[in-house]
Structure 1
Amino acid sequence: MASPIAWPALRRSLVAILRGITPDEAAEVVGVLVEEGFELAEIPLNSPDPFTSIRRAAAAFGDRCVIGAGTVLEPEQVDRLAEVGGRLLVSPNIDPGVIARASEHGMLTMPGVFTPTEALLAVKCGASALKFFPGSVLGASGIAAIKAILPRETVIGVVGGVSEKSFAEFKKIDVGTFGLGTNLYAPGDSAETVRQKARRIITAYDAVFADRP
């Protein structure tokens, strides 16, 4: 079994979720996100021709941003992701085979969890970080309760129904990793629209987490 891949130390632990993006838009939009300060980007596999989008984005900005796929459900998809230069795997569930294959490829893994049982299983499987989803349903209090039984070094991400308005609430429980979807990118958004949204989010994150090393 491959060793778990540690979540990187980033200035801003924000995952841009680009669901619905097309290959013709991918590089330009990711470029805008990188310029504004994003270091992680996820293109879900239920987007149009996602592997082409990932390949183009990774070729253009893979040295400045960890780019990968979301909604990854099968080990074969992990192999394909590796072929196109993906280095981040996000999934809605915990599949030990998927996590193991991703670790073999040296990818960061962020499986979806909601309960203590799922969270502990994901940790046991070697996940780089946990994706608490939908985060807005659990809220800070629910995640804090589960966080209490996890290893102290566990990286906890919150995805689903969160925005820059949520940052302060989750900082109170020492959580600073977030996945941002429709409030950052919606299908059809221009690169300039994404830039303005990204700038607002980065400004809010920096204000809340100004004391981060």
Structure 2
Amino acid sequence: MTADLTSLLAGARIMPVLTVPDAATAAPLAEALATGGVRCAEVTFRTPDAEQALKAMTAHGGLTVGAGTVLTPEQAERAVSAGARFVVSPGFDAEVIARCRELGVPMVPGIATATELMRALGSGLHKVKLFPAEQLGGTGMLKALAAPFPQARFVPTGGIGPAHLTGYLSHPAVLAVGGSWMASAGHLERGDYDGIRRLTAEAVERSTP
């Protein structure tokens, strides 16, 4: 039976979106994020070390870790084998969705239009990634899509920074907000885990009612 994304998030409304170029940074990164107060993170399948980073972050135990930028069923299989508890894609792909269901993990497809949202809802997926959120129009686009589809819940991602959080999180259709500013490529290159912890803590504080 496929787990439910809402239960995996357990009320967490901030989801760091991580591109980890070196798996050696994954363990201290997980520690910094967990210490900062987040409970959920997405590791993108954009680097050769993505699977190893997933394994290392899952082993930390303080985070629910999923895989992002999953484009094929084969990537979904590799992600789940590495410990991913959920799968996120930038778009809608029926084969990826079907494979995730077989694997028993929640799948969050990316949508950018009403047509794509209708395809997701028609496939039984009510939780979607609005991507790229800011480039699509930000909270204005979110409100426009949420109005005719009250059953949908959104995870806006793409171009979002701390200044945008309140606007997104105040909308009842938003399940969580994804962003990369908390652990950027620069932070990881410098080994600035204190900076990651600080930005994460600030984001978590902003997300708390």
Q: Same fold (TM over 0.5)?
A: yes
Equivalent position amino acid for 2:15 in 1: V
Partner in structure 2 of residue 198 of structure 1: 200
List runs of 5+ in structure 1 lacking aligned partners. none
2:207 and 2:5 map into 1 onto residues whose CA distance is 22
Equivalent position amino acid for 2:63 in 1: C
Q: Does 1:145 align with 2:144?
A: yes
Q: Where do residues 25-64 of structure 1 align in structure 2 (5 Å cutoff)?
A: 25-61=25-61, 64=62
Aligned-residue offset at 1:167? 2.2
SS of structure 2 residue aligned to 1:11: coil
List runs of 5+ in structure 2 lacking aligned partners. none
1:164 and 1:104 map into 2 onto residues whose CA distance is 36
1:203 and 1:83 map into 2 onto residues whose CA distance is 33
Q: Deviations over 1:110-157 (max 9, x none)?
A: 2111100111212222336211111113221221111122242x2211
1:186 and 1:131 map into 2 onto residues whose CA distance is 20
Q: If each structure's helix is expressed as a fraction of its own residues, which one has the higher value?
A: 2
Q: Percent identity?
A: 25
The alignment of Structure 1 onto Structure 2 pairs a total of residues equal to: 202
CA RMSD of aligned residues (A): 2.0
Equivalent position amino acid for 1:46 in 2: R
Q: Deviations over 1:29-76 (max 9, x none)?
A: 112212222121111111241101111111222xx3221211101101
1:76 and 1:198 map into 2 onto residues whose CA distance is 32
SS of structure 2 residue aligned to 1:69: strand
Aligned-residue offset at 1:195? 0.7
Aligned-residue offset at 1:100? 1.8
* Residues 4/127 of structure 1: CA separation in 2 closer, same or farther (3 Å cut): farther
Q: Deviations over 1:64-115 (max 9, x none)?
A: 3221211101101111112111112111110011012112222222211110
2:37 and 2:201 map into 1 onto residues whose CA distance is 8
2:75 to 70, 74, 77: 77
